[in-house]
Amino acid sequence: MDIYCPVCGEPWDHNELHDVEGVRFEEARRRFASEGCRVFGSTHNSTVDTDKATKSALLHELLGDDIDGIAALMEDLG
Ligand SMILES: [Zn+2]
């Protein structure tokens, strides 16, 4: 399932949080909630998907470490 960058709305497979070099999943998850794409060493999209980014930022704030819940709700919200 995909999670979305809270800054630019870029979709990422949530499993990629397991592959962030030098940090554990929990740390990667926490950083993704604030930094988004930058955790993966990527830059943010120049065209921001405001709708996805806003929803994602809100869900990360509300659900915290429930990454599966965040991904599922993002899918439900479209
Ligand atoms: Zn981004």
pLDDT class of 78 with cuts at 50, 70, 90: confident
8-35: pLDDT as tens digits: 999 999 999 999 999 999 999 999 999 9
CB-CB neighbours of 66 under 10 Å? 14
Q: What's the gap in Å between 32 CA and the centre of ligand 1?
A: 9
Please tell me the distance from the alpha carbon of residue 43 to that of residue 68, in angstroms, as a whole number. Answer: 24
Q: What's the gap in Å between 54 CA and the centre of ligand 1?
A: 12
Please give the helix or strand (H or E) that residue 31 lies within, else none. Answer: helix 25-35
Domain ranges, ordered by start, for the chain = 2-77
Q: What's the gap in Å between 46 CA and the centre of ligand 1?
A: 9
The pLDDT assigned to 57 comes to 97
State pTM to two decimals: 0.93
Q: What's the gap in Å between 38 CA and the centre of ligand 1?
A: 7
Chain mean pLDDT for the chain = 96
Q: Name the token pair of 25.
A: 């999943």
User: Is the CB of residue 6 less than 8 Å from the CB of residue 49?
Assistant: no
44-65: pLDDT as tens digits: 999 999 999 999 999 999 999 9
